[in-house]
Structure formats: structure tokens, C-alpha cells
């Protein structure tokens, strides 16, 4: 890990001016310009993080990229705006020439992501969920700027209004913690919502599931009926979870669990339910159809 405590970083507003852009709210483009927040982001990585290859999704004009280069050995920055990609390659040409920075042009949901050791990103809010579902299975430390409501769902406990599919999915791969709320004025242009920084520390879950993909699809299916009982949610979502025999699952699960709502089940209870569904429901997944 590099020592960046005494380094002077590029000014975020000056970067925007040099790039000749203003941000496009209609395209979910809000640049983080608060130096204090930018300076703190890399510090939210766990102290034992391997920083040999850092990944940034949505590099924008490079204010965070500059700090990542000071914190890690190598950085890969993904940016979908061609104008900003050209700017980044000019602004950071020395780092690129030194093989310390790679700029990938394209949508983070489509491009091939490298085998990075950690990721620090100001995520586009409209794609936060889909991007995280690509990053979480990599089991690397994450520091992500997201919409504050989204952050609350990532870190929510069972039985709360915020608890849902995202909570269980994030918890399956790591421990999520909101480490800093971020006001709207920290961005240019200011988004219509408040933001928050979430730290995700990878860990293995305290439970076992027969198949990760089936487990996460099953959780997604059941939460589409979060107002229903678990019994009815299993029956009503067999077309989503690909269960050919949902009644067999209902017959195999204890009545106390079946009477609960999905939002009241802990991840461990969801795992037990998924194991029963996989064993008794005859799902049409690889190896079982």
C-alpha cells in the first residue's frame, strides 16, 4: 500500500473544467467533488487489503482515480462515456505509460472486469444493484458510493422495512456497513437524493446452500411476494424460482416458518428454506433437470 497522506491531488472542479463537461443528471452522471469525501474513500478499505490492483467503476473525470493511484500499485478504471474516456487517457497518460492505469471504455455490466484485489467506486445509482451483483461474488473488499436508501437496504437486518433481496444477497457474500452519509452538495450536479458510502468486507456465510445461483434466484422469487406468507410466496413464485413441485416444498417445511413473511426470515433461515426447496421442489437447474 502506498502512503498518500502528503500527496497533493488533482482538484475535482478543475478536472471537470479541463474535461469540458458538466455532468448529465438524465444519464445518472453526478461527479463527486468534495475533496474531504474523496480523500476518505480509500481509507475505508480494511487495513489488510491487498491494494496491488484496484478497480474503479464509473471513473468520470478521474478525481477518485487520482487517489486510487496513490493508494494502490495498479488501477483499472471503467467508464462508459467516450468523451471522458478520451479525457482520462490524456489526463493520466503518464500513469498509463507506466502501466499503472488501464482505462476500459464501456458499460460495467457488459465489459470484462479484471481480477482486481479490491474495488472503490462512485457507482451510477440506476445500475448500482446490477453492478454489485457482478462485484459481490468476486469476494474482494468493496467501498461503494450509492444512494442512501440503497445503502440502508444493503445493511438492513431481518424484520426491518429495508430488509429484502439486496440485504440477503449482500450478506451472502460479505459484511456490509454504512461508513459515511454523503450530502447532495458533495456532487456536481447535485443528485436529487442523499448518498452513503458502504464498506463490504468479504466473508463466507455461516450457512451452506446447495447452489449459489439457485439460492439467490429463490430469494429473489420469494421477496416478490414479501407481503404474503412464506407458504404462499413459495407457491406463487414457482415460475420464478423454477420449482416444478412447490407443494412438495410446502409439505417439507415446518409450519412456523411457513406462517412468517419473507422479511422476517434471517439469511440462515432462508438458506434452510432454499435447501428444502432444492431437495424437494425438483428445480430445473443444472444438475437437477
Binding-site residues sit at 30, 32, 58, 79, 107, 122
C-alpha dist (Å) from residue 106 to 79, 109, 112, 186, 288: 6, 8, 9, 26, 36
107-133 exposure pattern, b = at least 16 Cβ within 10 A, e = fewer = ebeeeebeebbbbbbbbbbebbbebbe
Inter-helix orientation angle 165-173/267-280, to 10° = 90
Cell reading at 205 = 456465510
Cβ pair 166, 216 in contact under 8 A: no
Task: Judge if the upstream peptide bond of residue 138 is cis by omega within 30 degrees of 0.
Answer: no
Query: Which residues participate in the annotated binding site for S-adenosyl-L-methionine?
Result: 30, 32, 58, 79, 107, 122
Amino acid at each position: 500500500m502506498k502512503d498518500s497522506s502528503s500527496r497533493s491531488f488533482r482538484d475535482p472542479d478543475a478536472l471537470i473544467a479541463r474535461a469540458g463537461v458538466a455532468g448529465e443528471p438524465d444519464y445518472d452522471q453526478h461527479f463527486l467533488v468534495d475533496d474531504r469525501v474523496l480523500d476518505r474513500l480509500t481509507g475505508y478499505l480494511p487495513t489488510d487489503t491487498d491494494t496491488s490492483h484496484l478497480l474503479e467503476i464509473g471513473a468520470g473525470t478521474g478525481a477518485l482515480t487520482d487517489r486510487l493511484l496513490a493508494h494502490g500499485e495498479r488501477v483499472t478504471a471503467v467508464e462508459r462515456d467516450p468523451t471522458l474516456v478520451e479525457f482520462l487517457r490524456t489526463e493520466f497518460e503518464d500513469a498509463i505509460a507506466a502501466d499503472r492505469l488501464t482505462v476500459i471504455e464501456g458499460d460495467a455490466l457488459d465489459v470484462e472486469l479484471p481480477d482486481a484485489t479490491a474495488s472503490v467506486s462512485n457507482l451510477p445509482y440506476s445500475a448500482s444493484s446490477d453492478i454489485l451483483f457482478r462485484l459481490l461474488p468476486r469476494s474482494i473488499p468493496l467501498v461503494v458510493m450509492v444512494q442512501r436508501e440503497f445503502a440502508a437496504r444493503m445493511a438492513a437486518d431481518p424484520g426491518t422495512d429495508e430488509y429484502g433481496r439486496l440485504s440477503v444477497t449482500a450478506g451472502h457474500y460479505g459484511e456490509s456497513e454504512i461508513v459515511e452519509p454523503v450530502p447532495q452538495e458533495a456532487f456536481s450536479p447535485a443528485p436529487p437524493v442523499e448518498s452513503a458510502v458502504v464498506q463490504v468486507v468479504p466473508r463466507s456465510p455461516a450457512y451452506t446452500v446447495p447452489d449459489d445461483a439457485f439460492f439467490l434466484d429463490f430469494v429473489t422469487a420469494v421477496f416478490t411476494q414479501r407481503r404474503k406468507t412464506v407458504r404462499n410466496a413459495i407457491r406463487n413464485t414457482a415460475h420464478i424460482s423454477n420449482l416444478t413441485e412447490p407443494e412438495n416444498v410446502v409439505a417439507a417445511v415446518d409450519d412456523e416458518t411457513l406462517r412468517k413473511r419473507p422479511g422476517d426470515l434471517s439469511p440462515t433461515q432462508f438458506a434452510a428454506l432454499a435447501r428444502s426447496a432444492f431437495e424437494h421442489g425438483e428445480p430445473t437447474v443444472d444438475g437437477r433437470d
